Amino acid sequence: MKWENKSHELDLVADKLLQKADKYKYVYLFGAGKIGISLRAVLCAYGIFEGFIDNDIHKQGQFKGYKVYSLEEYLKKPNGIIVVAVGEKIIPEILRQLEDVHLSKGKDFFLYTEFYNTIFPVLSVYLFDKSFINLAQISLTERCTLRCKKCAHGCFAVDNSTTKDLTLEQVKKSVDSFFSKVDFVQEFVLIGGEPILYRHLSNVVEYIGSRYRKQIGIYSITTNGTIVPDEKMLKACRDNEVMFHISNYSKTIPGLANMYKKLTDVLKNYGISYNLDKEEHEWMDYGFDHVDRNASEEELIRVFDSCKTPCREVRENRFYFCVMARSVAENMGFHVGENDYLDLDALPGDKGKKELLEFTLGYSEKGYLDMCNYCYGADMVKYPIPVAEQEEKAY
């Protein structure tokens, strides 16, 4: 979307939400499981978390120190909204249950993805006067231990022996800029390439943890699971409550299963939480290595608007809407889109919150990124590809 009325693009959306402002100060998470617990921190930070709702009678009452209500108990309470925080498979069942008691989607309850991606960021600025981002990442290195042919960051094109990582100073500058403008981020992720290759990783984990941990819901590292971090890194991750997301490419590379086992055993020993993905069966192709739309401005705006990638990235003063666009452009030498970012340091005082919100929700001067010309965008679902096929033997 092109900016036409910067800092006021969402005024009407906010006005509508604020008509029911009181409801949004009493939020209940439906589902006292992994997802619900991970979403709780932000609501607590804003002082609006009222408790969980769960159908499991064993969780009702108190569960792991939280209040858990049955739906019947919730219905006796005035006001409030429900955020449905359960796995995809049981969403339809919960939605039916809520509709059966005459609650309406979009008014009385929301799916957590919709709530955290689009509704809460608006409420955060217009109701609480704070900036909220759902997901932000920092790519510490573009080097990787694998060379996936279709890496969405184009890391296969990087020479591991000559490519420069971000310096520790650049990383500090990035997070200082980011957290000077953002009050709370639901998930802040250290990524790569393979971030465990980054030699200052433990310093970074500590730097961010000691300064900004209270502004982060989930503080995490995404790894391909091929390296077990050293003791210093493990201690830093444990002390700063960093969670590991481990990709699972063992269908294509069976030898990885043993590495995942080694890594998860060590993480368990250190009491570090982790999420080992289910064995991935297919990826979707962004098409960066062959798509060239030669598209008009109108078409590029359409591609961008329908894409809705959640992958924001911070890199020094620059806040990128799409980490794939930034990294592929650099790693594969596209030489386009160098200015497709928001300058965090140039954001003006109070007005800056609305500008940042609008950028995060897809507004910009051009209304698209140059790299959208070389990407399938939302159409990538039509192009399934094998997971993590390797260019050459990588390890």
Which residues contact ligand SF4 by CB under 6 A?
144, 146-148, 151, 153, 155-156, 192-194, 224, 286, 303-304, 307, 309, 322, 324-325, 369, 371-372, 375, 377, 388
Our CB check for ligand SF4 shows the closer of 172 and 326 to be 326
Our CB check for ligand SF4 shows the closer of 250 and 309 to be 309
Our CB check for ligand SF4 shows the closer of 45 and 152 to be 152
Q: Tell me how far, at minimum, the Cβ of 381 lies from ligand SF4, in Å.
A: 12
Count of other CB atoms within 10 angstroms of residue 381: 10
Our CB check for ligand SF4 shows the closer of 75 and 381 to be 381
Our CB check for ligand SF4 shows the closer of 91 and 295 to be 295
Our CB check for ligand SF4 shows the closer of 148 and 233 to be 148
Q: Tell me how far, at minimum, the Cβ of 165 lies from ligand SF4, in Å.
A: 14
Q: Tell me how far, at minimum, the Cβ of 111 lies from ligand SF4, in Å.
A: 22
Separation of alpha carbons 387 and 367, rounded Å: 32
Q: Tell me how far, at minimum, the Cβ of 238 lies from ligand SF4, in Å.
A: 24
Q: Tell me how far, at minimum, the Cβ of 363 lies from ligand SF4, in Å.
A: 13
Q: Tell me how far, at minimum, the Cβ of 338 lies from ligand SF4, in Å.
A: 14
